[in-house]
Amino acid sequence: MLINVIFYSVLIHVRNTVLCVLCPLAEDCKKKWKGLRDHYRKEKKREKDRRRSGAAGGGGRVWRYTSVMGFLDPFLEEHPSTSNLDEALAESEESRDDEGETEEYEKSC
């Protein structure tokens, strides 16, 4: 029984020591990966803008890891976005129409 308690306490100590060493490394790896992924996404956007019709020619170097990070392409597809701009525009036009009717009514009186 005493051996199990000692073994368990040693195991917990080893686990905590390993976690203290690995956790900062894991956080650094996550930050580095996020930076690489974001840089690749921005590079792809720049490349798309460069190929756009009417865009200025040349300019800019290609990031050296672009070809290596190509495996991310299926996961970086642009998703359709939704906007409430159409609704806000319609509401503002309606309020303008209502104001115009009120002004016309006041002028006629």
pLDDT digits (tens, 9 = 90+) for 60-91: 788 888 888 888 888 877 767 777 776 666 67
The structure's pTM equals 0.51
Residue 75: CB atoms within 10 A of its CB come to: 8
Query: How far is 9 from 3, CA to CA, in rounded Å?
Result: 10
Q: What is the C-alpha separation between 22 and 8, in angstroms, rounded?
A: 21
H or E stretch at 11: helix 2-51
pLDDT above 70 covers a percentage of the chain that reads: 69
Report how far residue 51's alpha carbon sits from residue 36's, in angstroms, rounded to the nearest whole number. Answer: 23
pLDDT band at 106 (very low <50, low <70, confident <90, very high): low
Sign of CA dihedral 72, 74, 75, 80: positive
The domain spans of the chain are 8-41
Question: What confidence score (pLDDT) does residue 41 get?
Answer: 92
Whether residue 101 has pLDDT greater than 60 = no
Span 42-62, pLDDT tens digits: 998 888 887 776 666 666 788
